[in-house]
Chain A
């Protein structure tokens, strides 16, 4: 009997649905913070007059750039070279560099009062020309950060194999014009929030919804000029993160400063939706230039060269890590060995980017899927056939840059998706519709969700960074009353960690998951954690559950040793199970047993009876899981960057209404392979959510700026996240190729790899290729398709030799 693999109902839902969750904004505070933001994308601050705000009754304090200079150090920069000198503080000092940048903050007795006071602050701006396009920014004519003298944050060439020779030997060379992956984000249900208290003891206590607090702590402490030991962070229930909440340490610091200035009162900051859209962090925007693809006579891709420019917005928060993270999936799901990609990243006067579901990898996967589909269409090879000729087939597979794809079966996923969607029927439908002059297309998107990353890849970006490997911690103990209590360093934001961890423990101890208490949430004082602790990068199923599994082994060893002593039995004769008195350790084939209370009581209350040989038994054990990583070869940009590679294959059938230009989805299938599935219902939910999210990104969600750097989509009236009305019926399938690298065979799978973006681009191109259209932008909304239909681009977008 195994609990892993069962659709156990989520344990956390009862608590969450009944309003017993612990969300930051629900907790009380003494003061509320309002942040005054820049209305301009680029402007010099000539002066700030806060006197009227400070005079308003109920206002505790007002913060400006002067305060942060006095009390803060700039946040640590990850970048090497010039970009390392970017000064990133919680408030702008002499210049604002994106619309929405915090300029001043007011702490007052109520949130409304804080906002009233904020409006009384008078800021004297001198407007400057903004730079909004990444390629333009690289000319360094307008500088985002004057002191670093350039807008380039990073540049590197990723070259593997013999690219020139492959092109010399190619049967076909396909050249593709500029392509663009658009800017969007995830709009979690819960916005960013934190409560900070600068205590009399000189510690700072945070309650927040940061999703990578292990990292935030290491940024906050030096930023606030405190030892790490004095920065206490708690993050419990989080209403969605998708990576976006990794970066909100900037606001945590601001709330802490406000608390310090207000004499230690607790200060709450709770972001509004408009603030979230305007300034909380967008996903990476990327452009692809000079793309050339070499293929053999059969349409097998032998080489690719291209130049990519990533737009990171106005600050490098977590960036320029994205300049390397994409290379986890360098060749996507394809077997080509010769690749040269010149990768740069530029600062622009737009909202800083932050990790967003599929972070940096889906931009590369979308690019590769575009390449495959464009080549297929131009060479007259069906999209499914093109993929079968190019898919990687043998696993584990070492990519040209040393990443090891652990397991997978892409042809089997394709076959399954075709079966689920009824491929032949739709091909016939498409061909018939085309004969009638209608725009029907079928698109395939194959994608990878690389999980459990090796932080050593940061050293490819900056060899000076003291990061590598990965880890997660778990403590498991038998409490006085015999309860099994598990604490973790992860803070779930909807992934069901409580349930999944219970399933693992239940299997290990041969008990019911209901008998396991999992205390999720990050807590520097109460729970265990490591520097990598958090919920990001599709890793809980591997890092979190491996930590739980490892801790179970240690606990079981102690329980066995203790029970063997008391029951005077050999350890190998003992077994774990549930008896009449609940969970127990018993002697096989006898009526002798010890229940958990008796075991725990021996250690905690009744230990004079114990032998010296049991001195190290505490029934309270910690395990840190460390994946088997090595530091990559920085010079060659070579090494295993990720432990597991879940894969997804989606197929969409669309019909484009020539009148509304809407690509209506007629059928949609999503096949997922995340190795061994811990909880099928949760996995299905993840796939469904990621699919909806990706379809929304493809047709509805885009952050658009005007030429002045004003965000045109800063409310839900303009930025429309996908709703249930827009989501097609998704036929779901699953295949399981267990990972050889995780103890259970599971792989992380929370990000979905952006599959719907690739799939929708492919389907729309399939529908419109006959009309002379090549999809070169990831946003295929009706207005975008209208533009394309008005000006077919195939002549300029692609050429074949």
Chain B
């Protein structure tokens, strides 16, 4: 497949990228790892006039932890994140990074591109919502940081303004007693999940001090399941509490009917995955080593 003709520009700095994107206008797209954008171009679902390649901008791929905060540069690839010390220390990050597509995609695709594609099937927006992350942007009007919750505003639409790019994301290092899990169900590695769920719990014994739950591939945007969290927060984790949380998460979802399954099937999966996520997060809070990621057919 061949994209429609476009002009290619390589930005050497964030400032230059912003300048180019602003000048070139709405026909221009920022290119990072290309794992979503190039596919759309090749099947001519999108025909931009210009591509501004961010990949060579120095320093945008850093993964670092400082003062209780984790910061991941927009150009960090899924594979590098999966191998990073951050992923080793925070299993939910590893669950997500390792579960994205296949080796080829993980080696090229970036966390920033994943977030900016605005695709509700992408894993990072749901994961970052689970971790209550901030999205750091830079544009003609300067720098700003936004909560990831709400960053993806609609199907394939984000809060980015014209000329603005994402430079990185950050979230607080989970404290003691806090652990999470990111679980999905998918047909095969290269396919998007049928649904996915991120759960982050802060426990004191069996009591839930805090909870964050987000759903991927469960509606037109990533879904922050606040009602489900409220069912858990302040409660002792028992069967009835978990059931109510799962039901609330299902109620918050709005899955579409597609080749991955009917809305009824996806709601059943969401229910299942919330329970599994809570179970794994709880065991991890207790110090157990548990390996999870997407489950395949």
Cβ of A704 under 8 Å from chain B? yes
Are B188 and A661 closer than 8 Å at their CB atoms? no
Could you mark each residue 697-710 of chain A with 1 if its beta carbon is under 8 Å from any beta carbon of chain B, else 0? 00110001000000
Interface segment, A137-145, A385-393, A444-452, A717-725? A717-725
Number of chain A residues whose Cβ lies closer than 8 Å to a Cβ of chain B: 33
What is the distance, in angstroms, from A652's C-beta to the closest C-beta of chain B? 14
What is the distance, in angstroms, from B215's C-beta to the closest C-beta of chain A? 16
Cβ of B157 under 8 Å from chain A? no
Interface segment, A220-228, A624-632, A782-790? A782-790
Are A659 and B190 closer than 8 Å at their CB atoms? no
Cβ of B171 under 8 Å from chain A? no
Cβ of B83 under 8 Å from chain A? no
Knowing A659-B272, A660-B185, the reply to whether A716 touches B190 (Cβ < 8 A) is yes
Docked Cα-Cα span, A726 to B190, in Å, equals 12
Kindly list chain A residues whose C-beta atoms are within 8 Å of the C-beta of B271. 659
What is the distance, in angstroms, from A118's C-beta to the closest C-beta of chain B? 10
Knowing A111-B2, A115-B2, the reply to whether A717 touches B192 (Cβ < 8 A) is yes
Knowing A700-B187, A700-B188, A717-B192, the reply to whether A661 touches B1 (Cβ < 8 A) is no
Cβ of A306 under 8 Å from chain B? no
Docked Cα-Cα span, A490 to B24, in Å, equals 56
Could you mark each residue 181-192 of chain B with 1 if its beta carbon is under 8 Å from any beta carbon of chain A, else 0? 000010111111
Cβ of B261 under 8 Å from chain A? yes
Docked Cα-Cα span, A781 to B259, in Å, equals 11
Are A713 and B259 closer than 8 Å at their CB atoms? yes
Are B264 and A786 closer than 8 Å at their CB atoms? yes
Docked Cα-Cα span, A715 to B44, in Å, equals 13
Docked Cα-Cα span, A713 to B262, in Å, equals 15
Kindly list chain B residues whose C-beta atoms are within 8 Å of the C-beta of A720. 187-188, 190-191, 297
Kindly list chain A residues whose C-beta atoms are within 8 Å of the C-beta of B142. none
Docked Cα-Cα span, A534 to B261, in Å, equals 40
Are A659 and B269 closer than 8 Å at their CB atoms? yes
Cβ of B265 under 8 Å from chain A? yes
Are B296 and A786 closer than 8 Å at their CB atoms? no
Cβ of B5 under 8 Å from chain A? yes
**Chain A residue at minimal CB-CB distance from B294:** A725
Kindly list chain B residues whose C-beta atoms are within 8 Å of the C-beta of A718. 258-259
Indicate which residue in A112, A699, A717, A787 contacts B191 across the interface (CB closer than 8 Å): A717
**Chain A residue at minimal CB-CB distance from B266:** A783
Are B2 and A112 closer than 8 Å at their CB atoms? yes
Could you mark each residue 106-132 of chain A with 1 if its beta carbon is under 8 Å from any beta carbon of chain B, else 0? 000001100110010000000000000
**Chain B residue at minimal CB-CB distance from A724:** B189
Please provide the chain B residues from 138 to 158 with a CB less than 8 Å away from any CB of chain A in the complex.
none
Indicate which residue in B3, B44, B188, B258 contacts A725 across the interface (CB closer than 8 Å): B188
Q: Is the interface of B mostly helix, strand, loop or mixed?
A: loop
Indicate which residue in A272, A725, A790 contacts B264 across the interface (CB closer than 8 Å): A790
Please provide the chain B residues from 186 to 207 with a CB less than 8 Å away from any CB of chain A in the complex.
187-192, 194
Cβ of A412 under 8 Å from chain B? no
Please provide the chain A residues from 266 to 284 with a CB less than 8 Å away from any CB of chain B in the complex.
272, 274
Kindly list chain A residues whose C-beta atoms are within 8 Å of the C-beta of B295. 660, 662
Docked Cα-Cα span, A660 to B183, in Å, equals 13
Could you mark each residue 241-269 of chain B with 1 if its beta carbon is under 8 Å from any beta carbon of chain A, else 0? 00000000000000000111110110011
Are B268 and A786 closer than 8 Å at their CB atoms? yes
**Chain A residue at minimal CB-CB distance from B43:** A274
Knowing A782-B265, A786-B265, the reply to whether A723 touches B43 (Cβ < 8 A) is no
Docked Cα-Cα span, A723 to B189, in Å, equals 8
**Chain B residue at minimal CB-CB distance from A702:** B259
Cβ of A712 under 8 Å from chain B? yes
Kindly list chain A residues whose C-beta atoms are within 8 Å of the C-beta of B89. none
Indicate which residue in A699, A723, A786 contacts B261 across the interface (CB closer than 8 Å): A786
Indicate which residue in B194, B258, B259, B262 contacts A787 across the interface (CB closer than 8 Å): B262
Docked Cα-Cα span, A263 to B107, in Å, equals 46
What is the distance, in angstroms, from B164's C-beta to the closest C-beta of chain A? 28
What is the distance, in angstroms, from B254's C-beta to the closest C-beta of chain A? 18
Docked Cα-Cα span, A277 to B194, in Å, equals 21
Where the two chains meet, the residues of A that have a C-beta atom closer than 8 Å to any C-beta of B are 111-112, 115-116, 119, 272, 274, 659-662, 699-700, 704, 712-713, 715-723, 725-726, 781-783, 786-787, 790
The list of the 6 closest CB pairs from A to B, nearest first, reads A659-B272, A112-B2, A783-B261, A718-B259, A786-B265, A720-B187
Where the two chains meet, the residues of B that have a C-beta atom closer than 8 Å to any C-beta of A are 1-5, 43-44, 185, 187-192, 194, 258-262, 264-265, 268-269, 271-272, 275, 295-297
7 contacts between A and B (CB under 8 A): A274-B1, A659-B272, A661-B265, A699-B297, A721-B188, A723-B190, A783-B261
Extra 14 A-B pairs, beta carbons < 8 Å, given A659-B272, A662-B185: A111-B2, A112-B3, A116-B4, A116-B5, A659-B271, A661-B268, A716-B190, A717-B190, A720-B297, A725-B296, A726-B296, A783-B260, A786-B264, A790-B264
